[in-house]
Each structure stands twice: as C-alpha cells, then as structure tokens.
Amino acid sequence: MALEVTPVHRNLHQRVTFFSLEFEDLFVVIGLAAFMSIFGRFLNREINGIPLNVVLQYAVPIAAVPVLLLFKYGKPRGYLRDLWTWHVQPKIYCGLEADAEFTKEFLR
C-alpha cells in the first residue's frame, strides 16, 4: 500500500491582512470602537433618533480604517506596533550621560 502525499504550499512571508489591514491594526480599530462606545454612553445624546454611543461605536472605527491605510502607506510590516513601543519605552539618547550613582563621597 503506497503512501499518498499531497503538496502543501506554505508562504511564511505572506502578510495576514483583513480589509487591507494587518492583524495588529484590527486591535486598534476594535479598541477604538470599545472606547467610543463607553465615551458615548456618558454623553446621553442622540443624532436623528440614534443614540450617540451607537453612532460613535460604528462611525469612528469605520472612518479609522481609511485613515490607518493612508497613515501606513509605504511603511514596513509591524509599523504601528514599533511606533507604539518607541513612544512607550524610556528613551536613552546619549551613552555618555552622567551616572545616577555618586562617584565621589557625599559627606567627608
């Protein structure tokens, strides 16, 4: 009995996208929708009979998708994650910065 083998094509360099956005970018859009829903509940307003939290929950993320597409145009893969980590982590701009410890005795 012969072993049946089927070819499997794997491309590990293929970007996983959904609506032309990377997987990490969808977290931004979903987080923005959740934040706008919570923010809209505090306003207690309506637009043409529709509660403002529903309008903000759906309109802002839908508008954020083209903004993200334009912002990330020509940028490398994982740009939004790298931008976030660069702004969050502490900055060290010079290797010759003075030490935090005392190099001389404080009291004689």
> Which tens digits make up the pLDDT trace of 25-76?
888 899 998 998 888 888 888 888 888 888 888 899 999 999 998 988 888 8
Tell me the pLDDT of the chain averaged across its residues: 83
Q: Nearest 5°: phi and psi at 41?
A: -70, -30
Contacts of 57 (CB under 8 A, 6+ apart): 33, 36, 37, 40
Q: What is the pLDDT of residue 14?
A: 75
% of the chain residues with pLDDT over 90: 9
Task: Return the structure tokens found at 100.
Answer: 């935090």
Q: What pLDDT does 99 receive? A: 65
Mean pLDDT of 12-19: 76
